[in-house]
Amino acid sequence: MNASWDILKILSDPTRLRLLALVMREELSVAELQEILGMGQSRISSQLALLRQAGLVSDRREGKKAFYSLRSSLPPKHLTLLRAATDSVADLPTLTDDRDNLDRILQKRRRTQEQYFNLIAGRLGKNYCPGRSWEALGHLALRLTPAITIADLGAGEGLVSQLLAHRAKQVWCIDNSAKMVEVGTELAQKNGLANLVYKHGDIEQVPLPDKSVDLAILSQALHHAQHPQAAVNEAFRILKPGGQILILDLNEHTFEKARELYADVWLGFKESALHAFLKKAGFTKVEVTAVAREENEPHFETLLASGIKSGR
């Protein structure tokens, strides 16, 4: 195809235009495009096939993966036409979300290439070493906690907060189970932690004032929320400017029994969903990373999401 009129017909489909806007920036696999666009594989593949037949994109095979990019030998007038079309819709929310998701995918690529987490996981526990464990390293890391005010949202008994309180200025544990609050309060008193306070409340309506904490933690709590976005919004509200949110939660899975066994409302979240929750709440410097994967079935994977509340 070399007629501008035919290219205009190709560009009339919003999905094809979104795909072109992405591959004009970076060579991407079908799986990456699925994650960015939130669409099924068959829909994306069929649209890519049309773009390839039109001579607008090229594909490259790498094992079982197919990567797509803008055809390098496009005539200048056709390239100008594509740029004009994508520029004309660049400010639409959908295209803005696509760019944010693309940036996140590229960050994920770099992390994978550096093999940072694989290096840690491969060395730790591969060979036995007396005294070396994730539990011990966790205690070491928690001792680095600065003198800040922390909110542990959906804390349960607050075992992490029990450790954080040894260094933090103040730790608030919020949980909607009166029994959990009672047990946690007893633990805090037993361990002499006067700066660790348990409050009965919901993570979607946190009983803390605006701009009152430096760090908000949602550790395996978000998938119990009826409205996850509301919980993230509440974390944003209670954080001081410059404060940080940390979320540990499950990657999306299909283990339906979790609803019955663990009272889970959500079967985990996609990386893109956690990223979207934080961005919509107003957080900046948002990052989402897979940090652990269980060896036994159903192989639950844990994601770590973080963001900063900017402003004054």
Distance of alpha carbon 208 from alpha carbon 206, whole angstroms: 6
Q: Are residues 121 and 87 in the same domain?
A: no
Q: Are residues 78 and 130 in the same domain?
A: no
Distance of alpha carbon 312 from alpha carbon 303, whole angstroms: 29
Q: Are residues 39 and 147 in the same domain?
A: no
Q: Average pLDDT of 145-166?
A: 89
The residue out of 51, 75, 92 marking a domain boundary is: 92
**Is the pLDDT reported for residue 157 higher than 90?**
no
**Is the pLDDT reported for residue 117 higher than 50?**
no
The residue out of 92, 108, 134 marking a domain boundary is: 92
Question: At 120, is the pLDDT very low, low, confident or very high (cuts 50, 70, 90)?
Answer: very low
204 inside domain: yes
What CATH number does residue 158 fall under? 3.40.50.150
**Is the pLDDT reported for residue 118 higher than 50?**
no
The residue out of 57, 92, 127 marking a domain boundary is: 92
Q: Are residues 37 and 161 in the same domain?
A: no
DSSP annotation string for 64-113: TEEEEEE-TT--HHHHHHHHHHHHHTTTSHHHHHHHHHHHHHHHHHHHHH
Q: Are residues 290 and 205 in the same domain?
A: yes
107 inside domain: no
pLDDT at 130: 62
Secondary structure element (H or E) that encloses residue 274, with its range: helix 271-281
Q: Are residues 50 and 189 in the same domain?
A: no
**Is the pLDDT reported for residue 11 higher than 50?**
yes
Q: Are residues 227 and 268 in the same domain?
A: yes
Distance of alpha carbon 127 from alpha carbon 130, whole angstroms: 10
251, β-bridge pairs: 269
Looking at residue 246, its amino acid is L
Q: Are residues 121 and 64 in the same domain?
A: no
210 inside domain: yes
261 inside domain: yes
Q: Are residues 168 and 297 in the same domain?
A: yes
198 inside domain: yes
Summarised one tens digit per residue, pLDDT across range 250-293 is: 999 999 999 888 889 999 999 999 999 999 999 999 999 998 88
**Is the pLDDT reported for residue 112 higher than 70?**
no
- Could you tell me the residue range of the domain that residue 205 belongs to? 117-308
Q: Are residues 246 and 130 in the same domain?
A: yes
Nearest to 251 by CA among 218, 229, 274: 274
Q: Are residues 137 and 216 in the same domain?
A: yes
104 inside domain: no
State how many domains the chain has. 2
Q: Are residues 131 and 228 in the same domain?
A: yes
98 inside domain: no
103 inside domain: no
Question: At 116, is the pLDDT very low, low, confident or very high (cuts 50, 70, 90)?
Answer: very low
What CATH number does residue 82 fall under? 1.10.10.10
Rounded to two decimals, the pTM is 0.65
Summarised one tens digit per residue, pLDDT across range 50-79 is: 999 988 999 988 777 889 999 988 888 889
CB 153 within 8 A of CB 217: yes
